A and B are shown apart, each in its own frame.
Chain A
Amino acid sequence: MNMLPESYFLSAPLWLITVLHVLTLTLHFVAMNFLVGGIIVVLAGKFSDKWNHPVVKQFVKLFPVAMAATVTIGIAPLLFVQLVYPRQMYSAAIVCGWFFLLIVFVVIAAYYLLYGGSFAKAGSKRVPALLFLALAGLLYVSVVYSNVFSLAERPGLCKALYARNQSGLMLNPEVGSWIFRWLHMMLGAVTVGGFFVGLLGRKHDDAFKVGKTFFIGGMAVAMLSGFVYLFSMMDLMKPLMHSAGAWWLLGSIVLALGSLHFFMKRKFAASGGMLFVSLLGMVAIRHIVRLLRLDGAYAPSSVPVHPQWDVFLPFLVCFLVALGVVGYMLKLYFGRQRPD
């Protein structure tokens, strides 16, 4: 009876899983920021003859694709978070059960709304309405995620909430523990949205200006909210500043400013690269904060490691092949078409 295999183990070294986790989560955020930030900038930006503006039309066509990318890329970090923190994450999700489950339906609805927008005739009044509804849905998703993941880092609170209600109707009542984190995330999305609008609108002065406004403004308020968030975590400040997090923080801020600098000079590759690494730094800090918060309750490093290299290797091969095939298909699609 007791010879059954043990199942709580990691099938690759923790550092490797962490690297993949942080990297894929960052990619997921890039797509999400394009989507959420893009919708906000498109809705709020001052474009001339907005709904007939070529850049706006392009974004409206791209939103469903961005949605597909957000969801598809998001599966990978979801896998890793379940792998390393299943008991924290699912317990929090169960406490917020109905809100969490509703995400699925809201996302489906948002997706169809965005498709509706992309199918609508240019200039149609329906487009802003559809985008607005989709945005409301996406914001719902973001609020619930912030709730669930802030709860996941607080197992004690999670247990207390469950003792109060078992039907999955709870949200994190310690609003201070998630609101700044959420705000920072959304303002970051606006910043990145501004970047993308500037990038895709680089040939149109008004569009570039809209992008610039949101990029600069977004970054200013995002940084502000970031500091508020940081100071709201007074209890963790000391360990955080003594960890690699301090370096990540410093680096991310410098890179973000650098990204702004190159953006103004319309050097988009340098700007985008810096922005990406800056975002990566933020995700790394987020990760470090989680570990600090969980300190004493759970340490991923205590989970036994039984590597499955014979499975990891085929995965790696498939991953590289998949990247190759993606490139190949894009070439088929965008490249010169040979008549048959």
Chain B
Amino acid sequence: MNYPFWDVEMGYGILMALIAVVHVFVSHFAIGGGLYLVVTEQSARKHDDARWLGFVRRLSKFFVLTTVVFGALTGVGIWFIIGLLDPAATEVLIHNFVWAWATEWCFFIVEILAALLYYNGWDRMSARNHMMVGWIYFIAAWLSLAVIDGIIAFMLTPGGWLESGSFWAGFFNPTYWSSLVLRTGICIMLAGLYALMAASREKDASFKASLVRHSAGWGLVGLAVVAASMFWFLADIPATVMDTAAKAMPIPMAALGLMWQLALVLGAMLVLFGLVLPKAYHPLVGVAVMVLGLVWFGSYEWFRESIRKPYVISGYMYANATEVGKAEAYQADGLLAHMAYRTGDDGDDLFRHACRSCHTINGYNALKPLFDGMDRDYIDGAVMGTGKMLGNMPPFLGTKAEAGLIADHIYKQVDHRPVAEIHGLSGAALGRKVYELRCGSCHVPGGHGSNTESYADMEPGDLGDMLDMAADLGDRMPAFTGTSEERQALIEYLQILGKGGAQ
């Protein structure tokens, strides 16, 4: 907590996506596209085919304008955005990996110059020289991926680095190779999809058919590499991480599911429109397939980012920038003592550093709906218990008093009417809502922390006793502090749960 916290209503996820996702798309496309251009140029020249050559040449203009300008600048933009949103993690990465980045910079310079010369050199350079520059472009671009992949994969699986602090252990970490192959596949696939989009506008039907078939081949080869290395990648993620995800992390699991479905649809589209009906490859199909590919890619990055929770650097730093190694110090001194930038409003400062990178009160991933109708003590308990809830959030590492300050801060901003009035509910329906709000984050019936079977043979009196001693039932489980009407309704609902109903 050596940095101020940038407080923007817009979610951090969205801001990050704005630049990072765009960059990731363009940069992978830049690598695969480079290979596509030079390989296709080579074959066109070998067969002395002016039409193919013209196609590649037209492609190269757009290519340079997107990669050199957009790719390079959004790449710099990533430094800006991670520095603003995640300065502490950036600090860790830069100190450990600065020479890797410096090395990537060398490749980057070669890559940018090669792209400019390739694009400007169609008339000026001999065929041999031109293709040579093309190959240099591709090799430099791929090498820069091979470097950056080490750092991205490190964040998910720092491997032996956690013990040794060794650069090489962190760089060639457990998911390095699988994600490198996977990303290479993505590059090839995106190049194919882009070329398909360009090919779809071709007038001459038979030329179009051969363009489409050729480019669909690239898309399919890339997709095949991606699909195969995805299994490898998933196997390289520690089993405990995948287990926790399956139980308590709906987001990465949703992303993973989406990924497989989209890959299937994409493959089917490529075979159908690319290989079987190439002449019918309408521009709209071209755009649709491209978008599908990008959404697939987005879901992969979403998975990779969200499976890392509660960490930003696994095992080392939590996603809210608190450090694993300082947990004891935080708990002893309090978070405030470790905060370099304070505003005078301690509750707000604590909320920012503990929760705000993932939640707002009202907007992005809002907390207000979760706490409307809750009393201050429950909110206090929930803050203390964030680490136990569904979603695998970072544990709250501050003191009890600091949790209280956050609770006050949140409580000020939520609806103070009773749940029954806010939602217009009564009886078992009210009970269900109360359960969702007060218990459901830690005990999902049939899922994360489920304990419905405990209620199986409990009488209403037993359930009431249970609620009275709730705070003693589990580490960081809050006391039941709802109104008597809510208590009654909850007991009613717990009985239904105990009988195996209402799941």
Q: Does B462 contact A (CB under 8 A)?
A: no
Q: Given the interface contacts A94-B3, A94-B87, does A11 sit within 8 Å of B99 by beta carbon? A: yes
Nearest-CB residue, chain A, relative to B165: A5
Q: Which 3 A-B pairs have the closest CB atoms?
A: A5-B165, A104-B77, A322-B106
Q: Given the interface contacts A310-B168, A318-B103, does A333 sit within 8 Å of B117 by beta carbon? A: yes
Q: Given the interface contacts A326-B113, A329-B113, A340-B128, does A100 sit within 8 Å of B165 by beta carbon? A: no
Which of these binds chain B: A42-50, A159-167, A236-244?
Answer: A159-167
Smallest CB separation, A43 vs chain B (Å): 22
A-chain residues with CB within 8 Å of residue B133 when the two chains form the complex: 329, 332-333
Smallest CB separation, A306 vs chain B (Å): 8
Q: Are B167 and A87 in contact (CB under 8 A)?
A: no
A-chain residues with CB within 8 Å of residue B91 when the two chains form the complex: 7-8, 82, 86-87, 90
The answer, among B87, B103, B125, for a CB contact under 8 Å with A332, is B125
Known: A78-B79, A310-B168, A332-B133. 19 other contacts (CB 8 A): A3-B325, A7-B95, A9-B95, A11-B95, A11-B99, A12-B99, A65-B116, A72-B108, A76-B105, A90-B83, A90-B87, A97-B84, A111-B73, A163-B342, A308-B167, A325-B110, A329-B133, A332-B129, A333-B125
Smallest CB separation, B205 vs chain A (Å): 32
8 A Cβ contacts from A11-49 to B: 11-12
8 A Cβ contacts from A313-340 to B: 314-315, 318-319, 321-322, 325-326, 329-330, 332-333, 337-340
Q: Are B132 and A332 in contact (CB under 8 A)?
A: yes
- 1/0 per position for B101-113, CB-CB distance to A under 8 A? 1110111111011
Q: Are B90 and A90 in contact (CB under 8 A)?
A: yes
Q: Does A108 contact B (CB under 8 A)?
A: yes
8 A Cβ contacts from B105-139 to A: 105-110, 112-114, 116-117, 120-121, 124-129, 132-133, 136
Smallest CB separation, B198 vs chain A (Å): 19
Nearest-CB residue, chain A, relative to B325: A4
B-chain residues with CB within 8 Å of residue A93 when the two chains form the complex: 80, 83-84
Q: Given the interface contacts A104-B76, A162-B4, does A11 sit within 8 Å of B98 by beta carbon? A: yes
Q: Does B70 contact A (CB under 8 A)?
A: yes
Q: Are A82 and B90 in contact (CB under 8 A)?
A: yes
8 A Cβ contacts from A95-125 to B: 95, 97-98, 100-101, 103-104, 107-108, 111-112, 115
Greatest chain A CB density within 10 A among B90, B120, B129, B140 is at B129
Q: Are B125 and A82 in contact (CB under 8 A)?
A: no
The answer, among A9, A79, A108, A163, for a CB contact under 8 Å with B69, is A108
The answer, among B2, B7, B80, for a CB contact under 8 Å with A87, is B2
Q: Are A103 and B80 in contact (CB under 8 A)?
A: yes
A-chain residues with CB within 8 Å of residue B328 when the two chains form the complex: 1-2
The size bracket of the interface on A is 35 or more
Q: Given the interface contacts A7-B92, A166-B4, does A82 sit within 8 Å of B114 by beta carbon? A: no
Q: Does A74 contact B (CB under 8 A)?
A: yes
Q: Does A264 contact B (CB under 8 A)?
A: no
Q: Does B25 contact A (CB under 8 A)?
A: no
Q: In the bound complex, how far is the Cα of B127 from the Cα of A80, in angstroms?
A: 40
Q: In the bound complex, how far is the Cα of B341 from the Cα of A94, in angstroms?
A: 11
Interface residues of A (CB under 8 A from B): 1-12, 65, 68, 71-76, 78-80, 82-83, 86-87, 89-91, 93-95, 97-98, 100-101, 103-104, 107-108, 111-112, 115, 158-159, 162-163, 166-168, 308, 310-312, 314-315, 318-319, 321-322, 325-326, 329-330, 332-333, 337-340
Q: Are B80 and A101 in contact (CB under 8 A)?
A: yes
Nearest-CB residue, chain A, relative to B170: A5
The answer, among B3, B92, B327, B344, for a CB contact under 8 Å with A90, is B3
- 1/0 per position for B1-33, CB-CB distance to A under 8 A? 011111110000000000100000000000000
Q: Are B108 and A75 in contact (CB under 8 A)?
A: yes
8 A Cβ contacts from B155-199 to A: 161-165, 167-168
B-chain residues with CB within 8 Å of residue A95 when the two chains form the complex: 4
Smallest CB separation, A97 vs chain B (Å): 5
The answer, among A86, A94, A318, A322, for a CB contact under 8 Å with B6, is A94
Q: Does B68 contact A (CB under 8 A)?
A: yes
Nearest-CB residue, chain B, relative to A167: B7
B-chain residues with CB within 8 Å of residue A100 when the two chains form the complex: 80, 84
Q: Given the interface contacts A168-B84, A329-B113, A340-B128, does A91 sit within 8 Å of B3 by beta carbon? A: yes
Q: Does B235 contact A (CB under 8 A)?
A: no
B-chain residues with CB within 8 Å of residue A3 when the two chains form the complex: 163, 325
Q: In the bound complex, how far is the Cα of B103 from the Cα of A340, in angstroms?
A: 35
23 contacts between A and B (CB under 8 A): A3-B325, A71-B76, A72-B72, A90-B83, A91-B340, A101-B80, A103-B80, A104-B81, A112-B69, A115-B69, A163-B343, A166-B343, A167-B8, A311-B167, A315-B99, A322-B107, A326-B110, A329-B114, A329-B117, A330-B113, A332-B132, A332-B133, A333-B133
Q: Are B126 and A338 in contact (CB under 8 A)?
A: yes
By DSSP majority rule, is chain A's interface helix, strand, loop, or mixed? helix
Q: Are B79 and A310 in contact (CB under 8 A)?
A: no
B-chain residues with CB within 8 Å of residue A108 when the two chains form the complex: 69-70, 73-74
Q: In the bound complex, how far is the Cα of B143 from the Cα of A325, in angstroms?
A: 14
Number of A-B contacts (CB under 8 A): 217
The answer, among B7, B84, B116, for a CB contact under 8 Å with A68, is B116
Q: Are A76 and B102 in contact (CB under 8 A)?
A: yes
Q: In the bound complex, how far is the Cα of B165 from the Cα of A9, in angstroms?
A: 12
Q: Are B106 and A315 in contact (CB under 8 A)?
A: yes
Q: Are B84 and A94 in contact (CB under 8 A)?
A: yes
Q: Does B316 contact A (CB under 8 A)?
A: yes
Q: Are A325 and B136 in contact (CB under 8 A)?
A: yes
B-chain residues with CB within 8 Å of residue A337 when the two chains form the complex: 124-126, 129
Q: Given the interface contacts A94-B4, A104-B76, does A75 sit within 8 Å of B105 by beta carbon? A: yes
Greatest chain A CB density within 10 A among B8, B70, B90, B342 is at B8
Q: In the bound complex, how far is the Cα of B251 from the Cα of A294, in angstroms?
A: 44
Q: Does B65 contact A (CB under 8 A)?
A: yes
Q: In the bound complex, how far is the Cα of B70 from the Cα of A86, in angstroms?
A: 26
Nearest-CB residue, chain A, relative to B111: A72
Smallest CB separation, B74 vs chain A (Å): 7
Q: Does B262 contact A (CB under 8 A)?
A: no
B-chain residues with CB within 8 Å of residue A72 when the two chains form the complex: 72, 108-109, 112
Smallest CB separation, B477 vs chain A (Å): 24
B-chain residues with CB within 8 Å of residue A87 when the two chains form the complex: 2-3, 87, 91, 340
Q: In the bound complex, how far is the Cα of B334 from the Cα of A334, in angstroms?
A: 64
Smallest CB separation, A152 vs chain B (Å): 12
Q: Are A86 and B87 in contact (CB under 8 A)?
A: yes
A-chain residues with CB within 8 Å of residue B124 when the two chains form the complex: 333, 337
Q: Does B437 contact A (CB under 8 A)?
A: no
Q: In the bound complex, how far is the Cα of B125 from the Cα of A297, in angstroms?
A: 56
Q: In the bound complex, how far is the Cα of B315 from the Cα of A90, in angstroms?
A: 24
Q: Are A115 and B65 in contact (CB under 8 A)?
A: yes
Q: Does B100 contact A (CB under 8 A)?
A: yes
Q: Are B5 and A312 in contact (CB under 8 A)?
A: no
A-chain residues with CB within 8 Å of residue B101 when the two chains form the complex: 79
Q: In the bound complex, how far is the Cα of B9 from the Cα of A98, in angstroms?
A: 12
Q: Are A86 and B94 in contact (CB under 8 A)?
A: yes
Q: Does B287 contact A (CB under 8 A)?
A: no
A-chain residues with CB within 8 Å of residue B109 when the two chains form the complex: 72-73, 322, 326
Q: Does B210 contact A (CB under 8 A)?
A: no
The answer, among A65, A166, A318, A326, for a CB contact under 8 Å with B5, is A166
Q: Does B324 contact A (CB under 8 A)?
A: yes
A-chain residues with CB within 8 Å of residue B7 when the two chains form the complex: 166-168
B-chain residues with CB within 8 Å of residue A6 when the two chains form the complex: 165
B-chain residues with CB within 8 Å of residue A83 when the two chains form the complex: 94-95, 98
Q: In the bound complex, how far is the Cα of B119 from the Cα of A65, in angstroms?
A: 12
